[in-house]
Structure 1
Amino acid sequence: MPPTPPARHLSGRHYGLDWLRIGAFALLILYHATLVFVPGHWVIKWPETNPALLVPLAFLTPWRLPLLFAVSGFATRRLLMRSPSLHDFVRGRSKRLLVPLGFGLLVLLVPELWVRAKLAGDPLSLPQYWLHEYWLPDPRYGLGFPAWEHLWFVLYLWVYTMLLALLIAARGSAWVQARVEALTAERRILWLPIALLAAARLSLMFVVPEQHGLFTDWSGHVQYASFLLFGFALGGSPLLWQRIAAHWRVGAPVALLCGCVVAWVEHAYPGSNVPPHAVAAAERAAQVAMAWSMLLILLHVADRWFDRDARWRATLAEAVFPAYLIHHPVIVVTAWTILPLGLSAEAGFAVVVATTIAACTGFYLLARAIPLLRPVAGLGVLPPTPPRHRIVPAE
């Protein structure tokens, strides 16, 4: 049996989870940029698409969002541990999530939604669109307000956090952790979460549509909230880390096999082609199994080999949330702007990725430097600078 993990899992910062979050966001930029250049429906499409890129996307799709919710759950537990009270925790998380969400709806998403409207034939300029059409619930062109776009993740995270706070107020963090530990006891950590999540997803997939929306995405809620709960329990449980260390290797062949199933379905039924019910059900089950298996693998890798600090770790970790807020509109607007240039798909991809990285970097540096911008970019308030005492020389 692996040795009991050290006490650092109960307090302090887990650098490995920081690196995992940083890496997940880097993949997210590449993922969303690639969506411009593959067949299928997305906000904007390049004239020349490459179906071969659907395969690597298929290997990323099942686990990228569950990973982000699990890491967010871990961070939620650590923030709760550091908060003086549950009330302070709720207030702090609401400010940290709702202020950027509001700023995103009021400002950041406007250019992206304007591009959507322009692609649908809207003649208005960006200022005209923002003043007269963006706020309409049912506009003639494009999507109605509020169109959350990629900010649905922030909305879901806040709602899950508030529901979790209610559960903690009623039963306590230890109760939540004990339930998760019971469901993942010994080798059950390999199969029981997969079985429960797959059963829930399959029972819902033919009953309710799978679409983003706080009151429509029930299949997503079951999966994402479950991964957040697991991450929350992991933030205070050396026992869960021990189980991951003992059983993570089994996840590798499971993840590979399930990834092949998902990739085959994407290849066999590209774009808007709908697979038969049995194939669709097998794909959903494979997605769940791959998501859970990859989570165990990545958590162990982060804990075993990346739980160490480095010069740029703190800066990159702080930059992730501001960069998340802005990256999606930048990708859409950049792709739309360079479409008339007639670039090859390779050159277009390079321009989109480079511009997105530059914009994310600039937005973070600007928000970090200007105190008024820090809250809207999801950055914490700077601690007050201690007064500098003037030293008076002795007479």
Structure 2
Amino acid sequence: MAASDPVTGAFATKDGRRYDLDWLRAIAFGLLIFYHIGMFYVTWDWHVKSVYASAAAEPFMRIVNPWRLALLFYISGVAVRFATDKIQSGSQFAVSRLLRLGLPILAGVIVLVAPQTYFELRQDRIIEPGYFPFYLNYLRLDQIYPIITPTWNHLWYVVYLLVYILLIVPFLPWLRNLAEGRAVQTLDWIAGGPVRLLLLVPIPFIIYELWLSPQFPTTHNLVFDWANHAHRFSIFMLGYFTAKHLRYWNSVGRALPLATGIVVSVLALRMVETFQIVSADKIAPVVGGIIDVLYAWSFIVLLMALAQRYLNRASAAARYVTGAVFCFYILHQTIIIVVGYYLTQMKIGAGGEFLVLTCSTILGCIAGYEVVRRVPFLRIMLGIKTNNERSKA
């Protein structure tokens, strides 16, 4: 049974763990997997494409697109706060994150992501069949392909997260004092009720969206991705500062009706635009940007409130997905691209292809995780925690 905990500022279970956030992290990663399956079928640029690609699924993709990654970075910030409050040495935490996140990045770039580039180049008919000759060129630093190699592709999230963690490690004592001091008063005011929570928190992100995003389109280039960094680092730090703030989490729960109303209203507006009842270009870009940010934050609050209410309890399923979800994330896109490349050539129909691709991706992730977690070297390289490590987290 969950109970309000004045020490953690959360709705903690008896063992002190936030199972609602564990579930939300798993749900966010799960949506990301389905989103990337969807990218195989829409007209937007992606690594490989189905012969059945069309704009049909794009309205559904737009429902999750504004908030799916923000939610991941937010939960990562919460997790970092809980983890760093348990350690005495910032350097020890930095080394642990370098191993936990850095090794999967290394394994991903060198081994797991390479097939994505190979099949992208094959579908574009830029290279001839033969993975070994391609792989030797893939590892070369001089670029011979129109795609940058080697690359991290979908692992950019892990790269950015590791960089953010390393950036704040030297300031952890100061950040902890700030989170327990002056930041409390500010958050008390911001989280003074559902209206403040939903309308004040998005203000910095609205500024980023209107000012930075037009100047710096998202590239996932670590050095020049300024608008993306502003959004992701800010939501990450918001997670850090709100992780143990009781009034904030109470406001999240109370904001459920209003957040639901905002989400439904914006989705209704987007539906009207989709069917061209009202043309999207009649909405001023400034207004559209504000609406998008309010929608994204409201959806995140909606999900947090629902998870807080219904998912904050221990279960075997929670333990399994908590242990498996990061490995699923590392593996899923390569499985989608490899299976999708061959599957779409069979032309078995859009519905059948989607079903086979989805089942192959899920089963492939499960099989990969079950193998990797039983091999110590592979488990370390893919950042999978042991049962003892998870119980201490």
Query: What TM-score, normalized by structure 1, do the two folds share?
Result: 0.87
SS of match in other structure, 1:48: coil
Change over 3 Å in CA distance of 1:330–1:280 after alignment to 2: farther
CA distance in 1, matches of 2:300, 2:292: 12
> Which residue among 198, 207, 213 is the counterpart of 1:205?
213
> Which residue among 306, 313, 322 is the counterpart of 1:308?
313
Change over 3 Å in CA distance of 1:209–1:63 after alignment to 2: closer
Change over 3 Å in CA distance of 1:267–1:328 after alignment to 2: farther
2:83 maps to 1:79: yes
> Which residue among 33, 57, 61 is the counterpart of 1:53?
57
Instruction: Please list the CA deviations of residues 287-321 of structure 1 after superposition, one character each: whole Å capped at 9, or x if unmatched.
Output: 21112111111111111111001122111111000
Aligned equivalent of 1:228: 236
Change over 3 Å in CA distance of 1:59–1:105 after alignment to 2: same
> Which residue among 142, 152, 155 is the counterpart of 1:151?
155
Aligned equivalent of 1:186: 192
2:105 maps to 1:101: yes
Aligned equivalent of 2:249: 241
Alpha carbons 1:258, 1:286 under 8 Å: kept = yes
> Which residue among 247, 250, 255 is the counterpart of 2:263?
255
Change over 3 Å in CA distance of 1:209–1:180 after alignment to 2: farther
Change over 3 Å in CA distance of 1:383–1:56 after alignment to 2: closer
Alpha carbons 1:54, 1:263 under 8 Å: kept = no
Aligned equivalent of 2:341: 336
Alpha carbons 2:123, 2:341 under 8 Å: kept = no
Alpha carbons 2:263, 2:298 under 8 Å: kept = yes
Alignment of 1:15-94 (within 5 A): 15-94=19-98
SS of match in other structure, 2:67: helix
Alpha carbons 2:219, 2:225 under 8 Å: kept = yes
SS of match in other structure, 1:62: coil
Aligned equivalent of 1:390: none
The answer for unaligned runs of 5 or more in structure 1 is: 269-274, 385-395
The answer for unaligned runs of 5 or more in structure 2 is: none
The CA deviation at 1:222 is 1.5
Tell me which amino acid in the other structure corresponds to 1:22.
A
2:307 maps to 1:299: no
Alpha carbons 2:255, 2:302 under 8 Å: kept = no
- Identity percentage over the alignment? 26
Alpha carbons 1:38, 1:54 under 8 Å: kept = yes
What RMSD, in angstroms, separates the aligned Cα atoms of the two structures? 2.5
Instruction: Please list the CA deviations of residues 31-80 of structure 1 after superposition, one character each: whole Å capped at 9, or x if unmatched.
Output: 11011112222212212234231111111111111111111111111211
Aligned equivalent of 1:174: 177
Change over 3 Å in CA distance of 1:54–1:328 after alignment to 2: same
Tell me which amino acid in the other structure corresponds to 2:230.
V
Change over 3 Å in CA distance of 1:249–1:137 after alignment to 2: farther
SS of match in other structure, 1:103: helix
Change over 3 Å in CA distance of 1:91–1:196 after alignment to 2: same
Alpha carbons 2:114, 2:138 under 8 Å: kept = no
2:381 maps to 1:376: yes
